[in-house]
Amino acid sequence: MTHPEKSDDAHRSAFRALPSVAALASDPEVMDASSLSPASLTTMIRAVLDDHRTAIVAGARPDAGAIRAAVLAALRATESVRLRPVINATGVIVHTNLGRAPVSEETAAAMAAAAGASVPLETEPESNRRGGRMDEISGLMRLLVGAEATLVVNNNAAAVLLTLAAVAEGRGVVLSRGEAVEIGGGFRVPDVMRQSGARLVEVGTTNRTYAADYERAVAPDTAALLKIHPSNFKVTGFVHDTGLAELADVAQRAHLPLLFDQGSGTVLDPRDYGLGGETTLGQSVRDGATITMASGDKLLGGPQAGLILGDRTWVETIARHPLARAVRADKTCLAGVAATLRHYVRGEAERRLPVWRMITLSFNDLRARADRIIMGVPGEVWTAATVSTKATVGGGSLPGETLDSVGISLSRADSGAALDDLARRLRLSRPGVFGRIEDGRLVLDLRTVLPEDDERLERVLAETLATAPA
């Protein structure tokens, strides 16, 4: 049995053997690797030493070489930019884990310009009076979909939460039981409703809800009717859904606002591009939704944002709620949303917005691109082939819908762990390339790779395969 005093003495002796902060900070290799300020470097070294003291207490021996290596590793991690550009070859267009779809060049430039300068965010240049934060976007959205006013917040979850808090706090909101759903990241509609202060009144059943169900549920303390678009799931078979226009008639007769969580933010009709139907922002306004809530970074194709649009009086009421300041969008987001909307009002969304460029890529062009890229890929160890695939929109948009696509398949006879290693090497390349493993092969789907990235993809493939273990 080890005596406590002897154990403490051993620990103190081991602690004294650790290199000092000053010695590590003045180490030539550490000095060469560091661009940190002296204060930040000192803090980092102390954290590394603290970790080693904890390890010593657990039984490890002091190791000056390991400590020096840990400091250098910490420096490399600090200098490494995590959010660096990568190539999305997964076949999922709106890929949440990869930051959704990229914005257009014009949108990115507008956001960068706003971030790097002062802008008249809440000042009218002509009068020099306060105001105007939403005027530009409201004007563009009015022209585009007919909404009287628009408010932009930081995402659609915030749009739903803020709208319910402003419209229905302490009162009932009628919702179909089949729409009391959970979306990504544990976002559950009943939970959000409780957080907003509104009271959920469920009607109908999971698979069938009628207009009469809503009518019977209206009570003196009812604040609104709510419809949630099922953007990340489908219920099929014996089903009945009360359409937005029909529900708007119910709301009008009851003198209640109709709130519609449209979800994807689509302005263009997906049916025109071989995809399933989805209520567009313009259709929601025409069908009678009092307030429509949607994302700006899904099928709209802009930066992360939540849109609250519709009746001016209600939008202004929502904008005055105290929570609005907590979830409001910053100047870079507003500049990006405005630039994105301009693509639509100019009729150029399919040509300029990456999400719609990816959706509209032709199958024949994809195959020609794949064949061209494969020609530059070495085939000594890995076999590269052009394969037909299925791509998806993703991001909680158009669930179950797929697009015919083309990918590059990489395989070898003894794939196994080598396949995982190749996928990892590609992810860690510059730029990183993210694909998907299926049926014993690594597939790089070109529908989610813009044509201007083909050269970079070919270079990374050639370099990675040339250095991959045999």
The three-state DSSP-derived secondary structure of the chain is CCCHHHHHHHHHHHHHCCCCHHHHHCCHHHHHHCCCCHHHHHHHHHHHHHHHHHHHHCCCCCCHHHHHHHHHHHHHHHHCCCCCCEEECCCECCCHHHCCCCCCHHHHHHHHHHHCCCCCCCEECCCCEECCCCHHHHHHHHHHHCCCEEEEECCHHHHHHHHHHHHHCCCEEEEEHHHCCECHHHCEHHHHHHHHCCEEEEECCCCECCHHHHHHHCCCCEEEEEEECCCCCCCCCCCECCCHHHHHHHHHHCCCCEEEEEECCCCCCHHHHCCCCCCCHHHHHHCCCCEEEEECCCCCCCCCCEEEEECHHHHHHHHCCCHHHHHECCHHHHHHHHHHHHHHHCCCHHHHCHHHHHHHCCHHHHHHHHHHHHCCCCCCCCEEEEEEEEEEEECCEEEEEEEEEEEEEEECCCCCHHHHHHHHHHHCCCCEEECEEECCEEEEEHHHCCHHHHHHHHHHHHHHHHHCCC
pLDDT score of 161: 95
For the chain, residues with pLDDT lower than 50 are 1-2
What does the pLDDT read at residue 30? 94
* CA 21 vs CA 73, 261, 385: distances in Å: 16, 56, 54
Check if CATH label 3.90.1150.180 holds for domain 86-95+357-467: yes
Fold of 104-352: Aspartate Aminotransferase; domain 2 (3.40.640)
Angle CA 402–396–303, to nearest 5: 110
Structure tokens at 176: 């179909």
Residue 222's pLDDT is what?
A: 97
Q: CA–CA separation, 393 vs 297, rounded Å? A: 12
Domain boundaries, the chain: 4-78, 86-95+357-467, 104-352
- Residue 233 is predicted with a pLDDT of 62
Tokens matching residue 459: 């270079």
pLDDT score for 414: 72
pLDDT in the model for residue 93: 95
pLDDT at 37 (0 to 100):
95
pLDDT of residue 1: 46
Q: What does the pLDDT look like over 66-97, one tens digit per residue?
A: 999 999 999 999 988 888 999 999 999 999 99
Query: Which pLDDT score is estimated for 193?
Result: 87
